[in-house]
Amino acid sequence: MRDILRLVVVLSVICGVSSAALTLTRHSLAERIEKQSDLYVRGPALERLFARPAGDLLDNKVKVDLGEQLYPAFYVREGGQVTGLALEAPGTGGYAGDIIIMIGIDLPNERMLGIEIIQHSETPGVGSRVEKASFRKQWVGLPILEPVRLRSQGGQIDAISGATYSSKAVVNGTNRIIELVSQHKDEILAAIEAKEN
Amino acid sequence: MSFKKILFHGLWKDLPPFRLVLGLCPALAVTSSVENGLGMGLAVIFVLVFSNMFIAMLRKFIPDKVRIASFIVVIATLVVIVEMTMKAFFFPLSQQLGIYIPLIVVNCIILGRAEAFASRNPVLLSMVDGLSVGVGFTISLIVISSVREVLGAGTWFGLRVVWDGFEPFQFMVRAPGAFICLGVFLGLMNAYSRKRGELFIQT
């Protein structure tokens, strides 16, 4: 009995100290990691979506509360009006977890400019193929207020063969962003005004 | 073992992955360029030294039955700290190394040294052992990746080192080249050791 107690206590203490160390490290590095991620991942993604240098866009950033976590949103101003938004959201149901996607939105025309994959842990060579331009170009010009579905479910998006979960996750993320725009667009625009004043 | 032996054994006698046949997966996967090999090597040195240190510090307190579980928790924590630090300060390198950073947790070199040395030796000697084996691993990675990068891409650490008109052997930076390179080095080392009468097959 005493031995079992010792096993439990030792293992619990080791796990406890490890968790504390990890939380501390994560907390102190989180901001730096996000800045790096902006520079190396989101920056190039924004450049591709809006055809502008990343340097102009990375400072135009607000945070959107999606319930479980805050996600960044970027905006483009033309002549005083916000004409473009890039919203980020998790797509649930991926093979190995959520796929974080970013959709560029043309506000005046209410269309999508395109989709970028920000982060995923899908199988290399299989699910990772959602990153390919040939898959993502299906999003260019889609209306921003209509939900999307895979072709196998009556919709218009061709999934990657052999990577149904990953394709579905990207579709789920897209619908999350569509929901965000249709229900919270005004709040996002208000947050942008608040930031700049 | 004398201190000097511990300091140098990782550099030839117990050199991973050639003598201590462990850590083959990263030796194959990340050696397509010298920069990646060096980055991985430094990450492994950090994890090895500190995991050996913590495990040696705790060796008298960890009951035998939960030994492996405790080692793995310590190693995994250190690897996640390395991963976060790399993402914070060397983001492009972490993108290149990709999933092979978290895979350091299951790199058998680290668990192997924890079990074979750190769990039964004092803290300072364990740290030196970790350093020795880690540096040996890094040197091996640099040697393999030098050959692969120069022959397969015509560069060394990103700098072009071949003459104009040199057509790189593309397969060297892909999987087949990795296996061939590893096998050739292993064969050469074994032939050399055999000639010197060294005992290198672990029984």
**What's the ipTM?**
0.83
Residues B68-90 have pLDDT tens digits of: 999 999 999 999 999 999 999 99
Question: What is the spatial distance between Cα A80 and Cα A144, in angstroms, rounded to a whole number?
Answer: 22
- Tell me the three state secondary structure of residue B201: coil
State the average pLDDT for chain A.
91
pLDDT at B70: 94
Helix (H), strand (E), coil (C) string for chain A: CHHHHHHHHHHHHHHHHHHHHHHHHHHHHHHHHHHHHHHHHHHHHHHHHHCCCHHHHCCCEEEEECCCCEEEEEEEEECCEEEEEEEEEEEEEECCEEEEEEEEEECCCCEEEEEEEEECCCCCCCHHHHHCHHHHHHHCCCECCCCCCEHHHCCCECCCCCCHHHHHHHHHHHHHHHHHHHHHHHHHHHHHHHHHC
Question: What is the spatial distance between Cα A159 and Cα A127, in angstroms, rounded to a whole number?
Answer: 10
Question: What is the spatial distance between Cα A27 and Cα A41, in angstroms, rounded to a whole number?
Answer: 21
For chain A, report the end-to-end CA distance as a whole number of angstroms. 66
> Cβ A21–B85 below 8 Å, yes or no?
no
Residue of A nearest to B99 (CA): A121
* Cβ-nearest to B91 among A7, A10, A36: A36
Nearest to B71 by CA among B126, B22, B137, B30: B126
Residues A39-48 have pLDDT tens digits of: 999 999 999 9
Question: Distance, in angstroms, between A46 CA and closest chain B CA?
Answer: 18
Residues B109-152 have pLDDT tens digits of: 999 999 999 999 999 999 999 999 999 999 999 999 999 999 99
* Cβ-nearest to B73 among A18, A25, A37: A18
Average pLDDT over residues A70-82: 89
Average pLDDT over residues B15-21: 89
For chain B, report the end-to-end CA distance as a whole number of angstroms. 18
Structure tokens at B32: 């397509």
**Is the CA virtual torsion B80, B84, B87, B89 positive or negative?**
negative
pLDDT of residue A61 exceeding 70, the answer is yes
Helix axes B123-153, B108-116, angle to 10 degrees: 160
> Cβ B73–A15 below 8 Å, yes or no?
yes
Helix (H), strand (E), coil (C) string for B97-131: HHHHCHHHHHCHHHHHHHHHCHHHCCHHHHHHHHH
User: Residue A160 has what DSSP assignment?
Assistant: P
**In which residue are the tokens 């009556």 written?**
A154
Q: How much is the CA Rg of chain A, to the nearest whole Å?
A: 20
pLDDT at B184: 95
Residues A22-59 have pLDDT tens digits of: 999 999 999 999 999 999 999 999 999 999 888 888 88
What residues of chain B lie within 8 A of the CB of A37, using their CB?
Answer: 87, 91
Average pLDDT over residues B89-101: 90
Structure tokens at B111: 């668990």
Average pLDDT over residues B6-32: 90
Higher-confidence position of A69 and A90: A90
pLDDT at B166: 86
A40 touches chain B (CB under 8 A): yes
Is A120:A166 a contact under the CB 8 Å cutoff? Answer: yes
Question: Distance, in angstroms, between A146 CA and closest chain B CA?
Answer: 34
Q: Which residues of A93-113 are buried (b: 16+ CB within 10 A; e: fewer)?
A: bbbeebbbbbbbbbbeeebbb
Structure tokens at A105: 């939105």
What residues of chain B lie within 8 A of the CB of A36, using their CB?
Answer: 87-89, 91
> Cβ B63–A10 below 8 Å, yes or no?
yes
Question: What is the spatial distance between Cα B178 and Cα B194, in angstroms, rounded to a whole number?
Answer: 24
Q: How many CB atoms lie within 10 A of CB A31?
A: 10
Is B141:B27 a contact under the CB 8 Å cutoff? Answer: yes
Taking CB atoms and an 8 Å cut-off, how many pairs form between chains A and B? 57
> Cβ A10–B66 below 8 Å, yes or no?
yes
Is B113:B130 a contact under the CB 8 Å cutoff? Answer: yes
pLDDT at B201: 65
Structure tokens at A139: 């999003």
Domain ranges in chain A are: 58-196
pLDDT at B163: 86
pLDDT of residue B203 exceeding 70, the answer is no
Question: Can you say how many angstroms the Cα of residue B70 is from the centroid of all Cα atoms in its chain?
Answer: 22
- Tell me the three state secondary structure of residue A148: coil
- Tell me the three state secondary structure of residue A134: helix
A63 touches chain B (CB under 8 A): no
What residues of chain A lie within 8 A of the CB of B88, using their CB?
Answer: 29, 32-33, 36
**In which residue are the tokens 């005083």 written?**
A80
Question: Distance, in angstroms, between A84 CA and closest chain B CA?
Answer: 28
Nearest to B115 by CA among B60, B57, B73, B56: B56
B62 touches chain A (CB under 8 A): yes
A23 touches chain B (CB under 8 A): no
